[in-house]
Amino acid sequence: MTATVEPEVGKARRRKEDARLITGATRWTDNLQLTGMLHMALLRSPVAHARITSIDVTEAVKMPGVLVVLTGQDLAAEQGSLPCAWPITEDMLAPPAPSLAVDRVNFAGEAVALVVARSAAEAHDALSLIDVDYEDLPVVLDLESAIADDADLVHPDLGSNKSATWVFDSADAGTGSDVDQTIADAEVVVERTFRQQRLIPAFMEPRSVVVDPSPDSVTMWSATQVPHILRWMLAAVLGIPEQQIRVIAPDVGGGFGGKLQVTPEEVLTLLVARRLGKPVKWTESRTESMLSAHHGRDQLQRITISARRDGTVTGLKVDLLADMGAYLRLVSPGVPILGAFMFNAIYKFPAYRFTCTNVFTTKVPTDAYRGAGRPEATFAIERIMDELAAELGVDPLELRERNWIKHDEFPFTTVAGLTYDSGNYEAATARAKELFGYEALRAEQAERRANGDPVQLGIGISTYTEMCGLAPSRVLGALRYAAGGWEHAAIRMLPTGKVELITGTSPHGQGHVTAWSQIVADRLGVPFEDVEVLHGDTRVAHRGMDSYGSRSLAVGGVAVVLAADKVLAKARTVAAHLMEVAEDDVEFTAGTFSVRGTSTTMALGDVVVAAHVAHNLPDGVEPGLDAEATFDPENFSYPHGTHLCATEVDTQTGAVKIRSYVCVDDVGKVVNPLIVEGQVHGGLAQGIAQALYEEAVHDESGTLTTATLADYLVPSAVDLPHFTTDRTETPATSNPLGVKGVGEAGTIASTPAVVNSIVDAVRHMGVSEVEMPCTPMRVWKAIHRRGDGVPTTPGAGGGLGSLDSRSAEERGGAE
Amino acid sequence: MIPAEFDYVAPATVDEAVRALAAGGEDAKVMAGGQSLIPVLRMRLAVPTVVVDLSGLTELTGVHDDGDSLRIGAMTTHYEVQRDPLVREHARLLRLATDTVADPQVRHRGTFGGSLAHADPAGDLLAPALALDAVMVCVGPSGTREVPAAEFFVDYFTTALAPDELLTHVKVPKLTGWGAHYEKFNRVAQAWSIVGVAAALRVSGGRIADARVGLTNMGPTPVRARGVEEALIGQPATAESITSAATRAAEGADPPSDGNADAEYRSHLARVLTERAVTAAVSA
Ligand SMILES: Cc1cc2nc3c(=O)[nH]c(=O)nc-3n(C[C@H](O)[C@H](O)[C@H](O)COP(=O)(O)OP(=O)(O)OC[C@H]3O[C@@H](n4cnc5c(N)ncnc54)[C@H](O)[C@@H]3O)c2cc1C
């Protein structure tokens, strides 16, 4: 076995998996073809809130190729209720969540009937012959009216549209003082309301499920981020013995939290496959995905910040309304709560209170979307810091410097009760300012203002932190989350010296196969190419908590290290035995054991063979070197950084153009800089998209009018600026790799940087807020103060052009 | 999504195509590049029983010199229009507008004739066709007729074409030596116009001798900004006269309201973009 000389960790390796993914030589769920496989299609409600008075399937059943047509009534006894694993309070209200609506529909897009046919086309054709009678109920769309006393109720049985109210108060927690008193005593108070618009995760691969039933076990392939959680929940919801369920997440084309779910479609595919005794596939269209897969964000944030005249912040009060949509999905209630610990961000607030009320509406359920709770928090705090700076008349960057935690104050316990282990906000900010040319841009801004240039320049700042590495299991328990936050890894040492690494994380585009190989290569001194990473199949990777929340490296990667260390510990025992020396005299470097002070060596590969054949092992030592480990973190990890955005705002049209974007992120130790760069770029694209482009819009009847990619504007490369990215590297002290996580940082940081820059550009024209997405019309109206009567029909888009906006209404409930 | 079932006909000549259309009756649909038709079929917004694919009609492709005008085959793709030397020389406005249509994939498939026949008021080629006084050559069972652009666009997605008629060619009068500019306003690069302004000008001795201005997405059909044209003709080609003329851009327009823009904002955009388009056309 050759020793690797140069460390693998830190190398900008191209991703092993990319050749396969890019050339299509791979297997997405929808590519699977099983013998005798049938196809399921779902009829979805075109109305947002209604009683189902009748469903007539007689014509649909007669259609060619159709095997069965089922309604919610047919499945009521067996479908159970979809799981919510995060009851945030003891008295949280949670409605039953059927996979197929039984007698009421609560959002447009909810499935009301299913067809199974020999081909997907036949199944879809039959949908149009199912006749459903709906008796309309009042729709509930607006958060504030939903919690009014006389509000129409989404779920009358619950008696309220308020699902739960969750409070963190620093005075009660002993982490700070009373915020009301602080605000009452304050020299300066700024209060703002921000709207976090509803977003659609828009993963590239639409969801797809294939279920192969056999009398004694069920195999499900699903485009999911969470095969392990899915298996557990299927067993719990449907009462199928868990050992008889195998879930496989094959190559999965993106998720962004959108595939962190146990979906109605997974349950239904399983139920019909079992009922018919045949494999069944369901694959959604883009529009179906947008109408039924969970959405993200959607909060109304009332933020109050208090400070002394000298700019020292004294208190922060956060009042949130969070839109759950019609049902509580897997972690819906907990998403806004994850933000509770992040509103105070990198600043030293002496007093803090966070109150969040989760509200039901007749819309698609919301749940995790890239950042989940932290982008919302970061947006609010970074926006209000700019507003406070304006109020005080100081440079917003200076205000931040005055209040942030200094690098020599770590570890630092925040007013929200978290202990930030490490960080260096000064270093990241200094580097960002230098790359950005901060002073020169400020000078140009002043000049344009003075000249009354029709194109004004704005500078937006976001000095963010976030929490990654979900999560210490004890903390999750304290937050009433139903699962743990550990991760598992196992290593199989094959007789030829090659390595199979099994991880409980479930990559869906992140490049774990490459990064984990780099970690193992260094740890065991084997070539990068000799490591195969296995994941996503519950019969191969039998233990895992899957991938979300920037946890995979900070938790799963550490489990890999621990498993490798166990392999080495045993190998050392065997090597010492074979070399006939004491274990203490054996050293290990670059794949080779050597005896201290001698020239005797033994390669790891030879130890592997010896352990495998077991001809000569010490007494009591089992054959083989395989090992497994589970890592439960002690703390979260806290990436941070400084993002600076310069935008040009055309005051005549309201058009916004990002002129330059600089980000300096500190994500701790970096395993693969190329992967980190990719995550940052993608994250920035999504964060900028929230600021400028994306919004799930409903009309007054509750129909989603942005149900195609022609009107839900996901930006492409041409719409985005060149990104200048750099890093500082302050290792995390909470894990042996020193890593923090990078999956969400770009998304979390960039949204407020962009919006701050827009407001900064036109603040002198009397603008202090532009609602997201900052469309040209919104910006223009903000400048010219023409109210905000934004219509809800989308504009012309895609191949459909204007037809799209004209047909949105009809399409509302289309499949 | 999956389109409903239909019969597919691929004629080799215009005659065959016209006969296939007549045989199919009201439920027959012509397919050119399919860039608008296929999405409509997939969403099942249209459910034709017969689709007549024109892609085999090579007689309908290419740009020909007809003396005072160009004759552009309806099946000429956007990509071909962009690169055609005759278009570049005699109908620059058309080329500049075509440059802004969608993305390279769509421009390689989508056709000039398809865009005009589709008659989406947000489409970028309608206003140039109107401003250039293009004439549509339509062929049906009873023969050929020519329809000027001003009469061709009737309403949203509605043209003067009868269900059994084909658009075969478009005659575009040459405006050799004119300045031109197409100013498109949209939110993402691949999107249709929220508002677009097509301007072509002839400047002579420092004065605007002739002017054509057409507006995209300012009503159910493309709009000719006659007021602006009137205000420009005979005036010196200066910023002042352009600014003043542009204030008349939204006169007579009937702009729609949607999530990207309400009518008030569209009218405002029409004025700002007209000023920009005319200014650019003067210096081009
Ligand atoms: C993603 C995307 C973005 C786009 N963006 C833009 C844009 O920014 N600006 C823009 O202007 N366009 C845009 N388009 C539309 C594009 O320009 C299409 O090429 C055009 O709308 C239709 O042309 P086609 O040849 O594909 O016609 P088809 O889709 O084949 O046909 C469209 C309609 O016209 C009828 N038709 C076609 N040809 C004839 C004919 N010769 N005689 C009679 N009837 C006919 C068809 O029956 C059908 O009803 C976009 C399209 C897509 C898919």
Q: pLDDT tens digits for A634-679?
A: 999 999 999 999 999 999 999 999 999 999 999 999 999 999 999 9
Exposure b/e, A424-460, CB count within 10 A at least 16 = b: bbebbbebbbebbebeebeebbeebbeeeeeebbbbb
Kind plus residue range of the DSSP H or E element containing B96: helix B92-99
Q: Exposed, middle or buried by CB within 10 Å (0-12, 13-18, 19+), for A241?
A: exposed
Best residue for ligand 1 mutational test, from B9, B14, B26, B30 (most atoms within 8 Å of Cβ): B30
CA angle A781/A783/A784 to nearest 5° reads 65
Give the residue among A352, A550, A391 at the shortest CA–CA distance from A465. Answer: A550
Kind plus residue range of the DSSP H or E element containing A522: helix A512-524
With a 6 Å cutoff on the Cβ, whether B121 touches ligand 1 is no
Nearest CA owner, ligand 1 atom 36: B114
Nearest CA owner, ligand 1 atom 33: B118
Give the model's pLDDT for residue A39: 98
The string of DSSP codes covering A312-366 is -EEEEEEEEEEEEESS--SSTTHHHHHGGGTTTTTB--SBEEEEEEEEE-SSPPB
With a 6 Å cutoff on the Cβ, whether B123 touches ligand 1 is yes
Token pair 């060149």 in the structure block, residue: A722
CA dist., res. B86 & res. B63, Å (int): 7
Q: Residues A496-520: what's their mean pLDDT?
A: 97
Q: Note the pLDDT tens digit of each residue in B91-119.
A: 999 999 999 999 999 999 999 999 999 99
Q: Note the pLDDT tens digit of each residue in A682-708.
A: 999 999 999 999 999 999 999 999 999
CA dist., res. A741 & res. A551, Å (int): 7
With a 6 Å cutoff on the Cβ, whether B35 touches ligand 1 is yes
CA dist., res. A463 & res. A346, Å (int): 8
Q: Note the pLDDT tens digit of each residue in A279-298.
A: 999 999 999 999 999 999 99
Q: Does pLDDT of A807 surpass 90?
A: no
Q: Note the pLDDT tens digit of each residue in A561-617.
A: 999 999 999 999 999 999 999 999 999 999 999 999 999 999 999 999 999 999 999
B218 touches B270 (CB < 8 A): yes
Which own/partner pairs from A782-785 qualify as long-range (CB within 8 Å, at least 24 positions apart)? A782/A654, A783/A651, A783/A654
CA dist., res. B237 & res. B205, Å (int): 9
With a 6 Å cutoff on the Cβ, whether A798 touches ligand 1 is yes
Give the model's pLDDT for residue A809: 43
Q: Which residues contact A23 (CB under 8 A, 6 or more apart)?
A: none
> Which of A653, A693, A700, A783 best tests the B interface by mutation, with the highest count of B CBs <10 A?
A653
CA angle A738/A744/A749 to nearest 5° reads 105
CA dist., res. A420 & res. A346, Å (int): 9
Structure tokens belonging to residue A688: 């900028």
Q: Is B258 on the interface with A (CB under 8 A)?
A: yes
Q: What 3-state DSSP class applies to A468?
A: strand
Q: What 3-state DSSP class applies to A734?
A: coil
Residue B202 to residues B163, B179, B272, B281, Cα–Cα distance (Å): 38, 6, 21, 9
Task: Pick the residue from chain A with its C-alpha nearest to B36.
Answer: A799
Give the residue among B116, B119, B149, B153 at the shortest CA–CA distance from B132. Answer: B149
Give the residue among A468, A466, A467 at the shortest CA–CA distance from A487. Answer: A468
With a 6 Å cutoff on the Cβ, whether B48 touches ligand 1 is no
Homologous superfamily, domain B179-283: CO dehydrogenase flavoprotein, C-terminal domain (3.30.390.50)
CATH class of B58-173: alpha beta
Q: Which domains does chain A have, with CATH numbers?
A: 18-22+486-631 (3.30.365.10), 418-453+637-815 (3.30.365.10)
Q: Note the pLDDT tens digit of each residue in A728-780.
A: 999 999 999 999 999 999 999 999 999 999 999 999 999 999 999 999 999 99
Q: Residues A358-366: what's their mean pLDDT?
A: 98
CA dist., res. A629 & res. A488, Å (int): 6
Give the model's pLDDT for residue B25: 87
Give CA A269 to chain center in angstroms: 25
Q: End-to-end CA distance of chain B: give it in Å, rounded.
A: 45
Question: What is the value of pTM for the model shown?
Answer: 0.96
Give the residue among A190, A649, A179, A648 at the shortest CA–CA distance from A389. Answer: A190
- Structure ipTM over 0.90, yes or no: yes
Q: Do A791 and B259 touch (CB under 8 A)?
A: yes
Q: Is B35 on the interface with A (CB under 8 A)?
A: yes
Nearest CA owner, ligand 1 atom 47: B30
Exposure b/e, A396-416, CB count within 10 A at least 16 = b: bbebbeebbbeeeebebebbb
A191 touches A179 (CB < 8 A): no
Q: Which residues contact A657 (CB under 8 A, 6 or more apart)?
A: A647, A648, A649, A650
Give the residue among B242, B197, B168, B190 at the shortest CA–CA distance from B97. Answer: B197
Give the model's pLDDT for residue A26: 86
CA dihedral defined by B58, B134, B282, B77, rounded to 10 degrees? -20
Task: Establish whether domains B7-56 and B58-173 are of one fold.
Answer: no
Q: Confidence class of residue A215 from pLDDT cuts 50, 70 and 90?
A: confident
Among the partner residues B106, B187, B217, nearest to A775 by beta-carbon distance? B187
> Which of A650, A652, A777, A781 best tests the B interface by mutation, with the highest count of B CBs <10 A?
A777
With a 6 Å cutoff on the Cβ, whether B203 touches ligand 1 is no
**Beta strand pairing call for A531-534 and A499-503:** parallel
Give the residue among A495, A488, A530, A490 at the shortest CA–CA distance from A624. Answer: A495
Q: Is B85 on the interface with A (CB under 8 A)?
A: no
CA dist., res. A357 & res. A369, Å (int): 19
Structure tokens belonging to residue A434: 């230098």
A681 touches A725 (CB < 8 A): yes
Give the model's pLDDT for residue A656: 98
B111 touches B34 (CB < 8 A): no
With a 6 Å cutoff on the Cβ, whether B118 touches ligand 1 is yes
Residue A398 to residues A33, A422, A439, Cα–Cα distance (Å): 60, 22, 13
The rounded percent of chain A whose pLDDT value lies above 70 is 96
Q: Which residues contact A452 (CB under 8 A, 6 or more apart)?
A: none
Q: Residues A20-49: what's their mean pLDDT?
A: 95
Token pair 């489409």 in the structure block, residue: B123
E-assigned strand segments in A466-574: 487-493, 499-503, 531-534
Kind plus residue range of the DSSP H or E element containing B140: strand B135-140
Best residue for ligand 1 mutational test, from B14, B21, B31, B36 (most atoms within 8 Å of Cβ): B36
Contacts of B191 in chain A (CB under 8 A): 710, 713, 795-797
Contacts of B120 in chain A (CB under 8 A): 796, 801-803
Structure tokens belonging to residue A568: 């080495």
Q: Note the pLDDT tens digit of each residue in B247-262.
A: 999 999 999 999 899 9
Q: Note the pLDDT tens digit of each residue in B13-26.
A: 999 999 999 999 88
Q: End-to-end CA distance of chain A: give it in Å, rounded.
A: 56
Give the residue among A503, A542, A537, A507 at the shortest CA–CA distance from A519. Answer: A503
In this structure, CATH architecture of domain B7-56? 2-Layer Sandwich (3.30)
Distance (Å) from the alpha carbon of A63 to chain B's nearest alpha carbon? 14
Exposure b/e, A83-120, CB count within 10 A at least 16 = b: bbbbbbeeebbbbebbbbbbebbbbbbbbbbbbbbeeb
Contacts of B5 in chain A (CB under 8 A): 125
Give the model's pLDDT for residue A57: 98
Give the model's pLDDT for residue A739: 97
- Between the CA of B35 and the centroid of ligand 1 the distance, in Å, is 5
Q: Which residues contact B215 (CB under 8 A, 6 or more apart)?
A: B127, B195, B196, B197, B198, B222, B223, B224, B225, B249, B253, B270, B274
Q: What is the mean pLDDT of chain A?
A: 95
**What is the DSSP code (8-state) at residue B54?**
G
CA dist., res. B126 & res. A74, Å (int): 53
Q: Is B48 on the interface with A (CB under 8 A)?
A: no
Among the partner residues A776, A789, A800, nearest to B40 by beta-carbon distance? A800
Domain residue spans in chain B? 7-56, 58-173, 179-283
Q: Confidence class of residue A24 from pLDDT cuts 50, 70 and 90?
A: confident
With a 6 Å cutoff on the Cβ, whether B261 touches ligand 1 is no
Q: In A52-169, where does DSSP find H-type helix?
A: 58-61, 72-75, 120-127, 143-146
Give the residue among A685, A704, A681 at the shortest CA–CA distance from A693. Answer: A685
Structure tokens belonging to residue A135: 């008796």
Give the residue among A123, A113, A44, A107 at the shortest CA–CA distance from A74. Answer: A113
Structure tokens belonging to residue A256: 């962004």
Give the model's pLDDT for residue A136: 98
Give the residue among B252, B240, B249, B253 at the shortest CA–CA distance from B279. Answer: B240
Q: Confidence class of residue B195 from pLDDT cuts 50, 70 and 90?
A: very high
* Residues counted in chain A: 815
- Between the CA of B111 and the centroid of ligand 1 the distance, in Å, is 7
Number of inter-chain CB pairs under 8 A, A vs B: 124
Amino acid at B171: K
